[in-house]
Amino acid sequence: MERRIAHVDMDAFFAAIEQRDDPSLKGKPVIIGADPKGGRGRGVVSTCSYEARKFGVRSAMPISEAWRRCPGGVYLPPDLEKYEQASRRIREAFYEFTPDIEQVSIDEAFLDITRSAHLFGGPLETCRRLKARVKELTGLTCSVGLAPTKLAAKIASDLRKPDGLVEVREEGLRAFLAPLDISRLWGLGPKTAAVLRERGINTIGALAAARAPDLDGLGSHGPQLRALALGEDPREVREEGEAKSVGNEVTFEKDTDNAREIKESLAALADKVSSRLRAAGLKGRTVTLKVRLEGFETHTRARTLTLATNYADVLAREALGLYAAFDRRRKKVRLLGVKVSGLLPAQEKESLFEDEGDARREKAHRAIERIRGRFGNSAIYRAGAKKDI
């Protein structure tokens, strides 16, 4: 039986949600990310609408560059809670068609429909129904690639955006891949791509036809890339591809070494991560601190806890401890981030005995969540947290 794997990619996900919720934004260039501050902003673009992409704006672009290219755009801060709520609804739709789902990120996933497609009229009709169901539940469009391999499915989903559907069959797999630029290969880094281009290998077909000497110096990566170019991709759709971490970052308006500002920012980041974990019904065991210094020098430090947690005060304590042990060599801080990984369901018991402190924390967190649920996220802040992150 031919494998049928669908790659579902939401179209301009964050921006599309904002346009859905505010009809006045439809047809306008919408850029989600840091405040551009009239071209002097210091963060990056999270995502942007297709109207903004016509100006050359792209995800991960410095927000200042986005402003220079599209000063007339609508710039909005990300509302992660709203986006995650939509993502959960989309995932519910996926489960109506197959249990074999690998969530790659908040806005994309692989679905193995090999065993279930016959229930919905075949693989292609399954994808059509899935697209319609996602739109029915969320009002959003997605693009889907259907292929016998994960690589081909991912590439196919990107070819006719937005609201596209591209099918690749086993017998046409190599012909589909051959004319595409090598940059389409999932996992091909810019340095390796540059080496291949220097050797005249610019398309996937050229890579498939490459001889061993053409791949010298690439180590084991060379044969792996050539196998992918030949359409050989045995990777399965695996449930553990579900989101493995929850985190938040802040980029300071000006590089800082102010101890109070840094402490308050870490506490606020821990609070945000805690809220996102609890909203998703998760807790985590590993806390990671990210520090980007002036000059874009980036470091991470992590600590794994004995028991998983989603409590803000515990996350803040660990993040502050990691920062205190970090030597920034008198350089100022540009960005801070707090991430929690090693996730498991919040209700999963790791100890037979509930700590009295944890019982108090749970009661306090639920009280805060009730207040925020009634009056909004800005209604209450934990002591020591910066209010404008």
Distance of alpha carbon 221 from alpha carbon 191, whole angstroms: 12
Computed from CA positions of residues 322, 323, 324, 326, in that sequence, does the dihedral angle turn out positive or negative? positive
Query: Can you say how many angstroms the Cα of residue 166 is from the centroid of all Cα atoms in its chain?
Result: 23
306 by Cβ neighbours in 10 Å (0-12 / 13-18 / 19+) ranks as: exposed
Distance of alpha carbon 287 from alpha carbon 272, whole angstroms: 14
Catalytic annotation, pick one of 18, 51, 102, 108: 108
- 8 Å CB contact between 102 and 110: yes
Please name the residue that has the structure tokens 């401890």: 321
Indicate the helix (H) or strand (E) that contains 67.
helix 63-69
Any catalytic annotation for residue 51? no
Computed from CA positions of residues 232, 237, 238, 244, in that sequence, does the dihedral angle turn out positive or negative? positive
One-letter amino acid at 28 equals K
Distance of alpha carbon 14 from alpha carbon 130, whole angstroms: 20
Q: Which residues are catalytic?
A: 108
